[in-house]
Structure 1
């Protein structure tokens, strides 16, 4: 078996020591930024500490989720089939992350398999809309979801401000004209 040259061993030990030190320092200095894979959804913006959802060295647990989302809440605010589904999951102590994920961005859906927002974060930030139903009538028939554009003040202001570039069928192409970042919306607000 070949012997490792002593200076290579010292280099490996030094690099390992520095990496462990950096991970330890960054974990204590700003753990959310260091470890979080992305921004929380708008549904969880009130969460202040990682440990509200995550058990150290384990991750999110059903008990952590149930601290905020109780069975009584599901029974009171959900459709019957949704509340019964969650009742079964809670009684079996199944992990919520089988169906739900977070850290995908402010307006990302947190339920796996939900339709993604075709507008991205941009439309929500520009209009001040809080959900799809602020601008759309949502109708679900035979497991097919249909969206109809409303004629309310949010939609009318957006159409008027875009001088006809913002009209039905064109909203999904907003990134052709807008960079979509925070700086872009602030510059537009100043004009």
Structure 2
């Protein structure tokens, strides 16, 4: 099979375009790495992390040792239920990769634990109440699915008062008719 020769100057044009593309990638990586390479916004849990290198190694992705630098076994013991703390301690000791159970870069209000209960009210409820967990408004039974109880505390009372009854029991399913983008209606 014979190929026709390239038109004059084609090789130099391809070379210049390649150099320009690589130069742009190098400049963008150096000047604005998050804008060029980030797959999405961080969750509310990690929004205060200033740069990618705190969690990621170049060309390797997230590194468990970097997660453990912030999320120590002692921190889990102090802030988590005993079963969660024990599981994380085992995973830390065996060097399990955190991203087997946790995801990131799915937005500020995303749930980052794979398989976790999904907020039935929509993630915007955390923003509306100023809370960060379901346990801020609900008390859960000992078994998954064994029922919940609505707490009588400041975030719950504020939500009920501000909604003038719209946030009452059984009415949250219609929330998106007023709060389509997670903010208060006009």
Query: TM-score, normalization: structure 1?
Result: 0.77
Q: Which moved more, 1:131-140 or 1:49-58?
A: 131-140
CA distance in 2, matches of 1:123, 1:180: 11
Partner of 1:62: 64
Aligned length: 184
- Is the 1:107–1:117 Cα contact (8 Å) retained in structure 2? no
Match in the other structure for 2:125: 123
Residue of 90, 93, 96 corresponding to 2:95: 93
Structure 1 segment 13-162 matched on structure 2, within 5 A: 13-141=15-143, 143-144=144-145, 146-162=147-163
Q: 1:51 to 1:94 in 2, by over 3 A?
A: same
Which is worse superposed, 121-130 or 52-61? 121-130
How much has 1:14 moved relative to structure 2?
4.6
CA contact 2:73–2:88 (8 Å) conserved in 1: yes
Q: 1:174 to 1:26 in 2, by over 3 A?
A: farther
C-alpha separation in 2, matches of 1:111 and 1:126: 21
Whether contact under 8 Å (1:108, 1:117) holds in the other structure is no
Give the match's secondary structure for 1:21.
Answer: helix
1:82-139 Cα deviation digits (max 9, x unpaired): 3333333223222111111112222322221101223334222222223222222222
